A and B are shown apart, each in its own frame.
Chain A
Amino acid sequence: MSDDHDGVPELLAAWALGALQSADERAVPPHLAECESCAAEAERLRETVRLLDGPPGAPEPPAPGTGPGGGAGPDGVVALALRARPAAPRVAAHAAPYAAAVCSLTALLREVGGHRPWGTPVVHDWDVRDTVGHLIAADEGLARGLGVRTHAPPSRITRDTGWEDAWETRTAEVIAYERTRSPDRTVAAWSAQSAALLATAEALDAGRAARVMELTGVRLPVADHFLVRAFETWIHTDDVGRALGLAVPPPPGEHLGRLVRLAVRLLGPALGPAAAPVLFAVPDAGDDARWVLGAGGEPVRGELTLRAVDFCLLVGGRHTPASVPRSATGDADAVRNVLERAASLAWL
């Protein structure tokens, strides 16, 4: 027997499990024939695997999709799973990102409780329940505008309150109210309101969503207000996920692309017609996701490329102009101006 056992001891477990590379398979048996200690270990490991297999006579797993007695097909499995959690409701394309974001937050909130308490601090001075309370307040404007009956508490906001004050006051009112009852009821109230929003004609029909409505100081088509709701719901879901230590994946690519285009539509006016023009690209939002921002008719002064998710997080206030990963060339001031304007959109 050789002193180093030719590396065979390291291979014995893989050998016992039948997980060797074919080249290794040639090395093991000759060594076992001449090395007592390796042969003993090999025997014991193989016996362990044999016992793991159990006695002979185990049935074969049924082939999938063979119906009763055999394996259920995907349809049966999906149908049963949908009883435990409904799929995102089918709505028009402009409301689909909101439907999906609601679905994601609903799933995330199922993980709250036990060692991930409702009182976990999230953002500002909100815990998980307060963050859901904020979303109730934030969704309320669109809900009211679409004739959805909104829930208590009554508001002391008057007609002449500015939108920013109204926004903050309403959030404070709802959070204070929700703190008086169980988190389950807060979640139920949020779920009911978002489900009602997604059941409106404006969620189901693009034509009905074309009308313009002013909310939080911005005049936009209702379709875009649905995108704003999706945006904020996702950003706060991400906040809650971070607080709980659970990674929240960004919205599906098509949804993210819609959020990017909405943000660009808002960024143009925010920059104004005199800003130094910058070529702005978001390659993962599609080949056509390239815009010249700022003054038209002048040579581009700089180029800025961001990933869709990073651009959204910048607009959502979760990246700063300094921290957002970017690729930039040309006039640094012009580029910085675009980043700062994007960050200042601060919807959320």
Chain B
Amino acid sequence: MPVEPTLHTSERPSSDAELHRRLVYGDESALAEAYTAYGGLVRRVAVRVTRSTVAAEDVAQEVFAQLWSRPYAFDAGRGSLRTWLSVLAHRRAVDWVRSEARHRKDTRADDSALHAIPDAGPGPDEAVVDRERALLLHSALAELPQSQREVVHLAYFAGRTYRQAAVELGIPEGTAKTRLRSALRRLAVSLADAPEPPEPSGSPEPPEPSEPPEPSEPPESSGPPDPAWEKGA
């Protein structure tokens, strides 16, 4: 009967929106809840990138302090708190590693982290190069378009299958698969474009030790991978 604007009583705020609302309105128990729910993920992301539990702890502190002190930086209408925190932790962790690398280069001090590599692992030189490549890839991951970055975070850090990630992001499964593929290809290309092209995997020779390259800014362009890629170049 009414031709007026109708009421949708079925709309219920998501738990993220409810948590965010309490953060905005200054209820600190909401921060404790967010930490309980997502602290593990944030630390997992940070330790994967920094490879240091101490650094990961600092990153987690920073991430949750930012969630609390700048609650309006998160918009519950634009994505989940899980991916937002994961992305923020990742970015902070990449920044931490970059500044560590700069610091190391400046002081030429012992690479104390290097001594932490267990003997059973690859040789120290290879480990150094692998860590440089990892930083390069994580830098590129941090620069992916948001739509790709989110699904990579869910699949890679949060352990979601592509189908679970699709549900969580509210996108079709096919889109989730496509975004994962585009994202991973772009990461592979960023590696190939790096100043020191990697040795083909499985090379028996450890790569030459080298000066740690400055983390190159990942390409801004959203251009597709080059055609050579299709040939496995």
Contacts and interface: CB of A to CB of B under 8 A. Distances in A.
Interface in A26-74: 37, 40-41, 43-45, 47-62, 64, 71-72, 74
A141 B118 CA distance: 69
Given A110-B69, A249-B21, A54 B188 contact: no
Interface in A65-87: 71-72, 74-75, 77-78, 80-82, 84-87
A110 B70 contact: yes
B168 interface: no
A261 interface: no
A247 B65 CA distance: 20
Contacts of A88: 25-27
Q: Which applies to chain B's interface (DSSP): helix, strand, loop or mixed?
A: helix
A290 interface: no
A21 B48 contact: no
B188 to A, nearest CB: 5
B105 interface: no
Contact of A19 (B31, B40, B180): B180
Contacts of B137: 48, 51-52
Interface string B183-195: 1110110010000
Contacts, number: 245
Interface stretch (A7-15, A119-127, A173-181, A270-278): A7-15
A250 interface: yes
A326 interface: yes
Interface stretch (A96-104, A130-138, A292-300): A96-104
Contacts of A9: 181
A327 B7 contact: yes
A107 B24 CA distance: 7
B142 to A, nearest CB: 12
Contacts of B7: 305-307, 310, 325-327
B107 interface: no
A104 B21 CA distance: 9
Q: A-B pairs with the 10 shortest C-beta distances?
A: A103-B26, A88-B26, A40-B232, A19-B155, A54-B134, A84-B69, A100-B25, A81-B68, A13-B180, A74-B32
Interface of B: 1-2, 4-9, 17, 20-22, 24-28, 31-32, 35-36, 39-40, 43-44, 46-48, 51-53, 56-57, 60-61, 64-65, 67-73, 75-77, 116-118, 120-122, 126-127, 130-131, 133-134, 137-138, 141, 152, 155-156, 160-163, 165, 174, 176-178, 180-181, 183-185, 187-188, 191, 198, 201, 230, 232
Given A80-B65, A249-B21, A307-B9, 8 more contacts: A19-B160, A64-B35, A77-B64, A101-B25, A305-B9, A322-B4, A325-B6, A329-B2
